């Protein structure tokens, strides 16, 4: 029997503690993937009992698979929280429906322009921002951006969609929504606000000014480890809850959401649900990006080179675990937070990475390196070097990425260029030189001898003696 609104009462799991039939939409979320379903949708689920006006309408930007799984289940799905041998199941009801942007943008624009929509939140991954990774500005050469500017009424990119929705709201005299970025980017709200402003300036200068004066883009730091769902997860959840769920989501116990409290159009009582509402998110974002995500990417690329399928497998490799501790220490030394807090944070992260119940594949984290490496490792390296602090561990992570690119092919918006470089340069150091010359990734580090010479030497050592040769003994 399938999980639906009519069968949910039979689920052997915690169920929504509110009457779903009375919930009305107040949030449109772009990018309803597993991360959103295990994070923001759970916080909102906790808010719905006290205020039912914040239901979520999900939007898939490209693929219909999430809608196809959730529509027959009336939007319901299982959250399975795993810690070692224990699994706790809970049914989440905050997502009311899912629209698919590639099947028709008008229904999406209708949801975005509905006066009831007061927040538009996003998890569209780094590449969804159509930015130049090194500078964080809109990439005007991005093919999707060019196409959207040519036909503004039918946008397909995130900046195009937000600007068209805001244009229509302004024209109709409807107050703007608040735009809440939940992606792993530094100053994610500010970055998105700038990108949206830059896109609007190319489309319509007056609109750009109106957006700058009227639309809030709070930043937020999001954290929860959420692997892709496997068929084994589906079978386990079905056995646990006694109902079939086409797309449950498996995650860890830890969850954190730190949000800049700037919601002129209102917000759910997220603090009551455990979120931290603050005036400045940036120190938290930088800590998380540099210590968690920087270490994650390093584990992912070494894991791929050394044949470790999951993060927990990679952490069981002692030399790699030593490197990860070093990466976290080097990153911590660039942060302006109390050292004891950072040390505790690092220890807790390593315990989370070791959670054997999470099959978090290194291949999943290795995706889209060109979009991730700048804010996860390169900014940290530049800061550490400027302060005369060590950055050897961080550099090994970048070297592992370059070696991974040479093995190709990879899944990345820059995959075509990476394949061409790998095909042109058989010699690892020549290949590394060519990759280091990509300014959209490395920015000014492309020209910094102190950096490029160290990278060449690491790549040479790895090529001569294997990736293990650069790990701490
Ligand atoms: C991971 C993140 O896939 C990745 O790149 O580093 O998704 C990571 O699991 C989350 O940011 C944890 O909060």
pLDDT, tens digit (0-9, with 9 covering 90-100), for 250-278: 999 999 999 999 999 999 999 999 999 99
Class of domain 8-278: alpha beta
Neighbour-count burial for 131-140, b at 16+ CB within 10 Å, e otherwise? bbbbebebbe
What residue owns the CA closest to ligand 1's atom 3?
365
C-alpha 18 to ligand 1 mean position (Å)? 31
Task: Tell whether the model's pLDDT for residue 84 goes beyond 90.
Answer: no
Q: How far, CA to CA in Å, does 156 sit from each of 20, 105, 120, 294?
A: 31, 8, 16, 30
Distance CA 148, CA 88 (A): 44
Is 17 in a helix, a strand, or coil?
Answer: coil
C-alpha 184 to ligand 1 mean position (Å)? 8
Instruction: Say if CB 246 and CB 78 are below 8 A apart.
Output: no
Rg, the chain, Cα only? 22
The half-sphere exposure of 166 on its side-chain side, counting CA atoms within 13 A, is 31
C-alpha 455 to ligand 1 mean position (Å)? 25
Rounded to whole angstroms, the maximal C-alpha distance in the chain is 66
Mean pLDDT of the chain: 97
pLDDT, tens digit (0-9, with 9 covering 90-100), for 329-354: 999 999 999 999 999 999 999 999 99
pLDDT for the residue numbered 235: 98
The helix (run of H) or strand (run of E) holding residue 192 is helix 188-203
Task: Tell whether the model's pLDDT for residue 152 goes beyond 90.
Answer: no
- Could you give the percent of the chain with pLDDT greater than 90? 99
**Fold designation for 282-470:** 1.10.1040
Neighbour-count burial for 282-299, b at 16+ CB within 10 Å, e otherwise? bebbbbbbbbbbbbbbbb
pTM of structure = 0.97
- Which of 374, 382, 356 lies closest to 438 in space, CA to CA? 374
Cβ of residue 365 lying under 6 Å from some atom of ligand 1? yes
Cβ of residue 352 lying under 6 Å from some atom of ligand 1? no
pLDDT, tens digit (0-9, with 9 covering 90-100), for 174-204: 999 999 999 999 999 999 999 999 999 999 9
Q: Which atom of ligand 1 is nearest to the CA of 296?
A: 6
C-alpha 225 to ligand 1 mean position (Å)? 6
Task: Tell whether the model's pLDDT for residue 401 goes beyond 90.
Answer: yes
Q: Is 331 exposed, middle or buried (0-12, 13-18, 19+ CB in 10 A)?
A: buried
pLDDT, tens digit (0-9, with 9 covering 90-100), for 216-234: 999 999 999 999 999 999 9
Cβ of residue 57 lying under 6 Å from some atom of ligand 1? no
What residue owns the CA closest to ligand 1's atom 8?
225
Q: Which atom of ligand 1 is nearest to the CA of 297?
A: 6
Cβ of residue 184 lying under 6 Å from some atom of ligand 1? yes
Q: How far, CA to CA in Å, does 247 sit from each of 61, 232, 238, 371, 398?
A: 18, 11, 10, 27, 34
Q: Which atom of ligand 1 is nearest to the CA of 184?
A: 11
- Residue from 225, 257, 353 whose mutation best tests the ligand 1 pocket (most atoms within 8 A of CB): 225
pLDDT for the residue numbered 230: 97
Q: Where are the beta strands (DSSP E) in 137-223?
A: 178-181, 220-223
C-alpha 24 to ligand 1 mean position (Å)? 31
Instruction: Say if CB 434 and CB 404 are below 8 A apart.
Output: no
Cβ of residue 139 lying under 6 Å from some atom of ligand 1? no
Task: Tell whether the model's pLDDT for residue 304 goes beyond 90.
Answer: yes
Each domain of the chain, given as residue ranges in start order, spans 8-278, 282-470
ipTM, 2 dp? 0.99
What residue owns the CA closest to ligand 1's atom 9?
225
Residue position matching structure tokens 């719905």: 48
- Residue from 31, 35, 345, 348 whose mutation best tests the ligand 1 pocket (most atoms within 8 A of CB): 35
Cβ of residue 225 lying under 6 Å from some atom of ligand 1? yes
Q: How far, CA to CA in Å, does 186 sit from each of 204, 286, 385, 425?
A: 27, 6, 20, 33
Instruction: Name the pLDDT band for 66 (thresholds 50, 70, 90).
Output: very high
């Amino acid at each position: 029997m399938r999980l639906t609104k009519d069968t949910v009462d039979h689920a052997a799991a915690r169920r929504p503690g509110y009457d779903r039939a009375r919930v009305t939409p107040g949030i449109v979320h772009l990018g309803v993937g597993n991360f959103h379903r295990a994070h923001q949708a759970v916080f909102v689920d906790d808010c719905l009992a006290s205020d039912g006006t914040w239901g979520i309408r999900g939007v898939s930007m490209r693929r219909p698979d999430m809608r196809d799984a959730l529509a027959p289940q009336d939007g319901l799905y299982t959250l399975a929280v795993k810690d070692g041998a224990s699994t706790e199941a809970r049914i989440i009801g905050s997502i009311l429906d899912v629209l698919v942007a590639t099947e028709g943008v008008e229904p999406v624009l209708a949801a975005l322009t509905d006066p009831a929509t007061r927040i538009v939140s996003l998890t569209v991954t780094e590449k969804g921002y159509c930015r130049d990774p090194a500078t964080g500005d809109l990439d005007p050469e991005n093919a999707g951006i060019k196409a959207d500017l040519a036909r503004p009424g039918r946008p397909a990119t995130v900046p195009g969609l937000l600007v068209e929705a805001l244009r229509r709201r302004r024209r109709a005299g409807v107050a703007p929504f608040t735009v809440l970025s939940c992606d792993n980017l530094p100053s994610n709200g500010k970055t998105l606000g700038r990108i949206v402003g830059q896109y609007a300036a190319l489309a319509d200068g007056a609109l750009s000014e109106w957006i700058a004066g009227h639309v809030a883009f709070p930043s937020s730091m999001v954290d929860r480890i959420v692997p892709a769902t496997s068929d084994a997860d589906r079978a386990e959840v079905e056995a646990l809850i006694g109902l079939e769920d086409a797309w449950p989501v498996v995650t860890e116990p830890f969850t954190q959401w730190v949000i800049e409290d700037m919601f002129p159009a209102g917000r759910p009582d997220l603090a009551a649900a455990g979120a931290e509402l603050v005036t400045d998110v940036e120190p938290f974002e930088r800590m998380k990006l540099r210590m968690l995500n920087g270490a994650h990417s390093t584990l992912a690329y070494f894991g791929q080179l050394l044949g470790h399928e999951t993060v927990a497998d990679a952490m069981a490799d002692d030399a790699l675990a030593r490197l990860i501790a070093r990466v976290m220490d080097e990153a911590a030394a660039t942060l302006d937070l109390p050292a004891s807090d950072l040390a505790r944070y690092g220890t807790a992260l390593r315990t989370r990475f070791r959670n054997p119940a999470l099959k978090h594949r290194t291949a999943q984290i290795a995706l889209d390196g060109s979009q991730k490496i700048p804010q996860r490792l390169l900014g940290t390296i530049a800061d550490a070097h400027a302060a005369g602090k060590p950055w050897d561990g961080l550099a090994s992570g970048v070297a592992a990425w370059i070696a991974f690119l040479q093995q190709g092919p990879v899944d990345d918006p820059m995959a075509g260029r990476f394949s061409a470089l790998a095909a042109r340069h058989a010699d690892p150091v020549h290949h590394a030189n060519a990759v280091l010359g990509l300014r959209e990734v490395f920015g000014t580090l492309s020209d910094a001898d102190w950096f490029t010479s160290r990278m060449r030497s690491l790549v040479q050592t790895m090529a001569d003696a294997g990736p293990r040769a650069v790990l701490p003994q």
